[in-house]
Chain A
Amino acid sequence: MKLVVKNLKKNFEKKEVLKDINFEFQKGKIYGLLGRNGAGKTTFFNCLNEDIEVDAGQFYIEDNNSKRKMEAEDVGYVLSTPNVPEFLTAREFLKFFIDINQKRIKNKKTIDEYFDFMKIEQEDRDKLLKDYSHGMKNKMQMLVNIIASPNVLLLDEPLTSFDVVVAEEMKQMLKEIKKDHIIIFSTHIMELALDLCDEIVILNKGILEEIDKNDIDNKNLKNKIIEALKGE
């Protein structure tokens, strides 16, 4: 399975944020999406999540040589600022989320098993989400997206609010689940991208390009990425 993006364009008034995006994202890989501030990473995600309409181009899922539209069920989007319904407890939120995703959840577990999986402590499970810290909310947002097991996971700088221990756990977890998903991971931290991601993709001047990692050592790779980011 792959996510194919073809000739995707998005302008804001006269500014061409996404000029002509052409890319194929393969299942089983984590893609590190790098780009400078304002390069359009979030816009790209918003397009894929259909939060905003694209001006031109298309994207679709290609599975066993058949194309189909990328449906709501195919996408999970973890935003850099976590969004959770604050009037619910973590347990209630999970219950609701499992309820509405009933049909597509494979190997359904109990709510507590999910909490265990995400290492959310017993005492936090029945707290209102409004009392959760930024990082904890982020964990919840990540968890519900993982439970729903969408084919495509869009992660917008998801690890920045985690402490080092949790960030490490999350990295491990992403590596574990990647075989069933297409994961696109946007970040500003190059080391993280190099450490976690299978492919490095650069969004620069509205174009998406892959950095060839083969036969190159880490230091040269970093230089290559910086040059690509600068547009040289």
Chain B
Amino acid sequence: MIKTFITSFKLKNTYRTNSIIYSIKQLPIIRKILPNSLYKNRGIKILATIISILYEIISIFIGKIIYMAAMILGVLSWYNMKQADVFIHIFTFLTLCGGILNTYMLNPTKDKYYAIILMNINAREYGLSNYYCQLLKVIIGFLPFTILFGMMVGIPLWIQIALPFFIVAIKLIVMNYSIYNFRKNNKVANENLPTKLVWGFVGICLLMAYGLPAINVTITQIIFLFVFTFSIILGVYSLVRIHNFNDYRKMYRQILTEPNIYRQEKKTEAEVIKNATLKQIELDRSYTSNKSDFAYFHDLFVKRHRKILTQAVKKQAVAILIVFIAIIIGIEVNTEFKNKINELLMISLPYFVFIMYCLNRSSSVTQAMFMNCDHSMLTYRIYRTPKVILGMFKERLKTLIVINLLPSTIIGVGFAILLYLTGGTDNQLNYVVLIVSIITMSIFFSVHYLVMYYLLQPYNVNTEMKSSTYKVVQGITYFVCWYMIQIQLPTLSFGIATIIFCVVYSLISLFIAYKYAPKTFKLRL
């Protein structure tokens, strides 16, 4: 078993180092200098291996500390109870969620697929050795932080030490149940596609975790002791069952199917195609288009992708309306809240750059455009003629702007109404600036994403994202928008500056797109 583990580690390490080299090779400029023979360069290999091992070590701790800090420690101040009790309470229920959502063993990952399906490594030895290693990592990764955070909030030492073992026990119990189920029904669930029952269970656990302390109820240390002891006994029993189970190969064959493995990468594609099929029957009966050329083509694209286009923004619009209504009710009943909202509206416009960024659908829509349309059409030379490219660009721009306009108009107008209801403003121009700036932000994002898509066309024939420049631009966009959250500026001046920036940016980028898109918009080979 140890031999299998070492082999599997080597395998994982090899393609991890190759991925690191590959990523380095994707960087602009650098890729031109580096040759393909890099993959066999010993020095680079060693360097990448070191990075890979460091990553492995850091990954043991980093996720755990973030998890505990954000999900438990960060929320303790919400409650008026003894912090130690709340800590143990939330930890226990979250562990139940985690146990069922993440078993390690039933996660269809590429490394398992390569090793078990493609390379025919002994499934039981592979599965078990990696599973034990993961469980060990759980203990090593959690222990320092359960002790550290436990001391900070005053938890008894035995519970600090017990908590990581509790996680492991729960994971073992869940895994044993999956194996039991597989023996009985010959079926095993892909843990990345939880059933409604699982989601229901997770929902209840989360409610218990964060809801109960709000009404001053937590599990006591005695209850935890019971739960822990019971879990450990069941956990040990499960461990024996898991260890003695023999049919891992058969079980993995069910989970490690290509659609499962590649689901994450092709999720959007799969969803879009699924939706397109669902819509098809209804559309073919009722839909006729009197348009022609690209307008016709694009029109059908929009109709066949209603779920990710029009219906998605309609849902957004409804959600936004509900939020506004809730705020309006809030300001009617609470004067303090009313004043706060008024004050926020006058200084927090920058925050809404980020909100508008999150709401904008253009990024996922351009992805669908590629996956379901341009991926195949770009192989036709006629589709790459300037006339067609620019014609399609125009149609798409119109659609993107219009689609995103619905939620943004509601937000803009909603703000103006809120401003009015919360006591108004001395300068009437504020109303106009609020509405117009939100709308221009929305147009800006639509233009930005479409222009980037046309200028950098980031995907290759296999629908993989290959452009690091595109990723960098996406990253910068995110960072700038996120940075805005922290800025507070008078709405009037910031709004006017935003409007001017968006208009100028949009005009310039449209000009550039018109000039260069016919050259840049092609398949990456």
Interface size class of A (residues with CB under 8 A): 20 to 34
Question: Is the beta-carbon distance between B301 and A99 smaller than 8 angstroms?
Answer: no
Question: Is the beta-carbon distance between A148 and B382 smaller than 8 angstroms?
Answer: yes
CB closest residue in chain B, given A128: B280
B277 at the interface (CB under 8 A from A): yes
**Which of A75-83, A162-170, A172-180, A184-192 forms contacts with chain B?**
A75-83
Question: Is the beta-carbon distance between A77 and B293 smaller than 8 angstroms?
Answer: no
Q: When chains A and B are docked, how far (Å) is the Cα of A50 from the Cα of B519?
A: 11
Within residues 353 to 394 of chain B, which ones have a CB less than 8 A from any CB in chain A? 372-373, 375-377, 379-385, 388
Question: Is the beta-carbon distance between B523 and A100 smaller than 8 angstroms?
Answer: no
Question: Is the beta-carbon distance between A72 and B296 smaller than 8 angstroms?
Answer: no
Q: When chains A and B are docked, how far (Å) is the Cα of A68 from the Cα of B165?
A: 76
Point out the residues of chain A lying under 8 angstroms from B525, CB to CB.
46, 51-52
B-contact bits for A16-53, CB 8 A (1 contact / 0 none): 00000000000000000000000000000010011110
B162 at the interface (CB under 8 A from A): no
Q: When chains A and B are docked, how far (Å) is the Cα of A52 from the Cα of B381?
A: 12
CB closest residue in chain A, given B523: A51
- Which of A77, A83, A97 has a CB less than 8 Å from the CB of B376? A83
Question: Is the beta-carbon distance between B373 and A126 smaller than 8 angstroms?
Answer: no
CB closest residue in chain B, given A148: B382
Question: Is the beta-carbon distance between A14 and B381 smaller than 8 angstroms?
Answer: no
Q: A86-B376, A100-B293, A100-B294 are in contact. Are A77 and B300 (CB under 8 A)?
A: no
Q: A51-B525, A99-B296 are in contact. Are A86 and B273 (CB under 8 A)?
A: yes
Within residues 308 to 333 of chain B, which ones have a CB less than 8 A from any CB in chain A? none
Question: Is the beta-carbon distance between A87 and B276 smaller than 8 angstroms?
Answer: yes
Question: Is the beta-carbon distance between A85 and B376 smaller than 8 angstroms?
Answer: yes
Question: Is the beta-carbon distance between B372 and A86 smaller than 8 angstroms?
Answer: yes
B522 at the interface (CB under 8 A from A): yes
Q: What is the number of residues of chain B that contact chain A, defined by CB distance less than 8 Å?
A: 32
B36 at the interface (CB under 8 A from A): yes
Q: When chains A and B are docked, how far (Å) is the Cα of A50 from the Cα of B522?
A: 10
Point out the residues of chain B lying under 8 angstroms from A13, CB to CB.
35-36
A92 at the interface (CB under 8 A from B): yes
Q: A85-B376, A126-B284 are in contact. Are A96 and B381 (CB under 8 A)?
A: no
Question: Is the beta-carbon distance between B379 and A77 smaller than 8 angstroms?
Answer: yes
Q: When chains A and B are docked, how far (Å) is the Cα of A228 from the Cα of B55?
A: 51
Q: Which of B276, B277, B293, B376 has the largest count of A CB atoms less than 10 A from its CB?
A: B376
B124 at the interface (CB under 8 A from A): no
Q: When chains A and B are docked, how far (Å) is the Cα of A97 from the Cα of B292?
A: 10
- Which of A52, A73, A85, A144 has a CB less than 8 Å from the CB of B373? A85
Q: When chains A and B are docked, how far (Å) is the Cα of A126 from the Cα of B280?
A: 10
Q: When chains A and B are docked, how far (Å) is the Cα of A148 from the Cα of B380?
A: 11
Q: How far is the CB of A142 from chain B (nearest CB, A)?
A: 12
Q: A99-B293, A126-B284 are in contact. Are A83 and B379 (CB under 8 A)?
A: yes
CB closest residue in chain B, given A131: B277
- Which of A89, A95, A148 has a CB less than 8 Å from the CB of B296? A95
Q: When chains A and B are docked, how far (Å) is the Cα of A125 from the Cα of B158?
A: 71
Question: Is the beta-carbon distance between A72 and B381 smaller than 8 angstroms?
Answer: yes
Q: A72-B382, A100-B294 are in contact. Are A128 and B376 (CB under 8 A)?
A: no
Q: When chains A and B are docked, how far (Å) is the Cα of A75 from the Cα of B376?
A: 16
Question: Is the beta-carbon distance between A49 and B381 smaller than 8 angstroms?
Answer: yes
- Which of A72, A95, A130 has a CB less than 8 Å from the CB of B384? A72
A229 at the interface (CB under 8 A from B): no
Question: Is the beta-carbon distance between B276 and A130 smaller than 8 angstroms?
Answer: yes
Point out the residues of chain A lying under 8 angstroms from B373, CB to CB.
85, 87
Q: Which of A83, A87, A89 has the largest count of B CB atoms less than 10 A from its CB?
A: A87
B483 at the interface (CB under 8 A from A): no
CB closest residue in chain A, given B297: A96
A88 at the interface (CB under 8 A from B): yes
A111 at the interface (CB under 8 A from B): no
Point out the residues of chain A lying under 8 angstroms from B171, CB to CB.
none
B396 at the interface (CB under 8 A from A): no
A101 at the interface (CB under 8 A from B): yes
Q: When chains A and B are docked, how far (Å) is the Cα of A144 from the Cα of B380?
A: 10
A84 at the interface (CB under 8 A from B): yes
Question: Is the beta-carbon distance between B276 and A77 smaller than 8 angstroms?
Answer: no
Point out the residues of chain B lying under 8 angstroms from A75, CB to CB.
381
Question: Is the beta-carbon distance between A77 and B381 smaller than 8 angstroms?
Answer: yes
Q: How far is the CB of A147 from chain B (nearest CB, A)?
A: 11
Question: Is the beta-carbon distance between B277 and A51 smaller than 8 angstroms?
Answer: no
Question: Is the beta-carbon distance between A128 and B276 smaller than 8 angstroms?
Answer: yes
Q: When chains A and B are docked, how far (Å) is the Cα of A86 from the Cα of B376?
A: 8
Q: A50-B381, A51-B525, A72-B381 are in contact. Are A87 and B293 (CB under 8 A)?
A: no
Point out the residues of chain B lying under 8 angstroms from A130, CB to CB.
273, 276-277
Point out the residues of chain B lying under 8 angstroms from A95, CB to CB.
296
25 A-B residue contacts at CB 8 Å? Answer: A13-B36, A46-B525, A49-B381, A51-B379, A51-B523, A52-B525, A77-B379, A77-B381, A83-B375, A83-B377, A83-B379, A84-B376, A85-B372, A86-B276, A87-B276, A87-B301, A87-B304, A87-B372, A89-B284, A100-B293, A100-B294, A100-B383, A101-B382, A130-B277, A148-B382
Chain A contact residues, CB within 8 Å of chain B: 13-14, 46, 49-52, 72-73, 75-77, 79, 83-89, 92, 95-97, 99-101, 126, 128, 130-131, 144, 148
New contact pairs (20) apart from A50-B381, A130-B276, CB-CB < 8 Å: A13-B35, A51-B523, A72-B381, A72-B385, A75-B381, A83-B375, A83-B379, A83-B380, A85-B372, A87-B372, A87-B373, A89-B284, A92-B296, A95-B296, A99-B296, A100-B294, A100-B382, A126-B284, A128-B277, A130-B277
